[in-house]
A and B are shown apart, each in its own frame.
Chain A
Amino acid sequence: MIGIVVVSHSPRLAEAAVDLAMIMVGENPPPVAIAAGAGEGVIGTDAVAVAAAIEKVASPDGVLVFMDLGSAVLSATMALEFLSTDIEVRLSDAPFVEGITAGVVLAAAGASLDEVDRETRDALNAKIGQLDRPTDAPAAASAAVAGESAAEEKLINPDGLHSRPAATIVKLVAGYDAKVSITDLTTGKGPVSAKSLIGIMSLGAKEGDVIRISASGAQAAEAVEAIREMAADGFGEVPAKR
């Protein structure tokens, strides 16, 4: 499991952001260390404290560092020069709260440093989607050459699309050349991008809900079928015989 480091000017901001993220994971949270403030009561950041936080959660799986702004970024880049460990450490350019939340959830789900880094960078997309504002993504470009596909499936696992199945879908979709979205037909929520962990979780899809998986792109049909199969299988969370 990768380690997460949170760098902020304010200890209260960092602690609250981590608390918020930890609500999303259960009994097996990833190692998280905070480096916030510059000594007693001083708003600021300290590169030496950042380096110490990185070493505290260091594992062979790597460490991802989230920063608020300004000197937090300078201190984190400087901290990399102080490290005595040779494990891989990356600085995330993800938005602070969204990035930490998605990062903690994905790390707990066992995602690799590459995956967590990539997914958290897109963590703002869930909010952009919710507000229904146009994104910069050239959506129409691939549709012309691509197929379209869709399927519906009833969720049978007791917890619905909670963090683990959501992370499984995100990981799976990454392997296909397709733009996939998911809608909860029972509640009318969505569609959300199947690349966005937070987006999928924001559906709040529960056992018994029918979801619609739709996709466009060269491997649209394959991607839809793969997700449909996993859903039909209850994401491996349904006891074999009741």
Chain B
Amino acid sequence: MTTGTVSLDQIVSWLSRFRDLVTEQRSYLTELDSAIGDADHGANMYRGMTAVMEKIGTAPAGAADELLKTVGMTLVTSVGGASGPLYGTFFLRMGMTAGGATTFTPTELAAALRAGLDGIVSRGKAEAGDKTMFDAMSPALSALDASLAGGSSLHEAALAAFAAAERGRDATLPLVARKGRASYLGERSAGHLDPGATSTALLFQSLADTFPEG
């Protein structure tokens, strides 16, 4: 059986880990983006997540909606590129679904993440195979749901989600981009990993790192 609850402190740890990972890999993310985009994804995500941690570090939130709204709005105002409104919408929708809760069950967390993905879809109109962050996030959330439904712990489910996100990210390699500036490149966008799918895999790596075994 799935047990345990997720605290707001753990949500903050997840975000903090994500900040660390995009900081570590910002050159790599920008390099990916320079191949098929405008060479700013690493710098943008680093700036955005740094601003997020500064904001929530100084003013700890009382409830999930408040915390996630701060995260979303900070990304919207600080990222600059398309990831601003997209990741921003993801966290804003997560917060709206979570409401005033101070803890989540694992399935509530999965539902909030799913609402975030729905927000990204309504914002960016992306579909499977468009070579976007959707291609990493959608399989990750399906794996998370399936794992939890099968009785796995949050640790195991988050690992399954991370593995699925990586597979989704890798599957963007041969795709021809149909969204964003990469789509202007047409066939020339094939043969490169999608930067957004790559940062999304880091988001799920952070989630797996946040919930250790036991």
A binds B: yes
**Other-chain residue from B77, B78, B85 in contact with A74 (beta carbon distance below 8 A):** B85
Q: Is A45 an interface residue (CB 8 A)?
A: yes
Contact partners of A117 in chain B: CB under 8 A: none
Known: A44-B44, A48-B73, A48-B77. A70 touches B82 (CB 8 A): yes
Q: Which chain A residues lie closer than 8 Å to B89 at the CB level?
A: 78
Residue B40 at the chain A interface, CB threshold 8 Å: yes
Q: Complex: how many Å from CA A75 to CA B181?
A: 15
Asked if B77 and A43 sit within 8 Å, CB to CB, the answer is no
Bound Cα distance A210, B137 (Å) = 64
Contacting residue for A49 out of B40, B77, B79, B88, CB 8 A: B77
List B residues 136-188 near A (Cβ within 8 Å): 180-181
Least Cβ distance of B89 to chain A in Å? 7
A38-B78 in contact (CB<8A): yes
Choose among B47, B80, B86, B181 the residue that contacts A46 (Cβ–Cβ < 8 A): B80
Q: Mark A44-71, 1 if CB is under 8 A from B, else 0.
A: 1111110000000000000000000111
A42 touches B80 (CB 8 A): yes
* Contact, CB under 8 Å: B80 / A74: no
A133 to B211 Cα, complex, angstroms:
62
Contact A46 B81 (CB under 8 A): no
Q: Are B82 and A47 in contact (CB under 8 A)?
A: no
Q: Given the complex, which residues of B lie within 8 Å of A42, measured CB to CB?
A: 47, 80
Which of B40, B47, B84 is within 8 Å of A45, CB to CB? Answer: B84
**B-chain residues with CB within 8 Å of residue A43 when the two chains form the complex:** 40, 80
B55 interface hit (Cβ, 8 Å):
no
Shortest C-beta distance, A36 to chain B (Å), equals 11
Cβ contact of B80, chosen from A38, A48, A69, cutoff 8 A: A38
Q: Is B78 in contact with A39, judged by CB distance below 8 angstroms?
A: yes
- Measured CB to CB, the nearest residue on chain B to A72 is B82
Interface size class of A (residues with CB under 8 A): 10 to 19
Q: Mark A14-58, 1 if CB is under 8 A from B, else 0.
A: 000000000000000000000001110011111111000000000
B18-54 contacts to A (CB < 8 Å): 40, 44, 47
Set of chain B residues within 8 Å of A37, measured between Cβ atoms: 80
Query: Which A-chain residue is minimally distant from B51 (CB atoms)?
Result: A39
Indicate if the CB atoms of A78 and B81 lie closer than 8 Å.
Answer: no
Residues of A within 8 A of B84 (CB): 38, 44-47, 71, 74-75
Known contacts A44-B44, A78-B85; is-contact A71 B80 (Cβ 8 Å): yes
> B79 — which chain A residues lie within 8 A by C-beta?
38, 44
- What are 13 A-B residue pairs whose CB atoms fall within 8 Å in the complex? A38-B79, A39-B77, A42-B80, A44-B79, A46-B80, A48-B76, A48-B77, A70-B81, A71-B81, A71-B85, A74-B86, A74-B124, A78-B85
Q: Chain A residues in contact with chain B, CB under 8 A?
A: 9, 37-39, 42-49, 69-71, 74-75, 77-78
Q: Please provide the 4 A-B residue pairs with the shortest distance between their CB atoms, ordered closest to farther.
A: A44-B80, A38-B80, A71-B82, A74-B85
- List chain B positions with a Cβ less than 8 A from chain A: 40, 44, 47, 73, 76-82, 84-86, 88-89, 123-124, 180-181
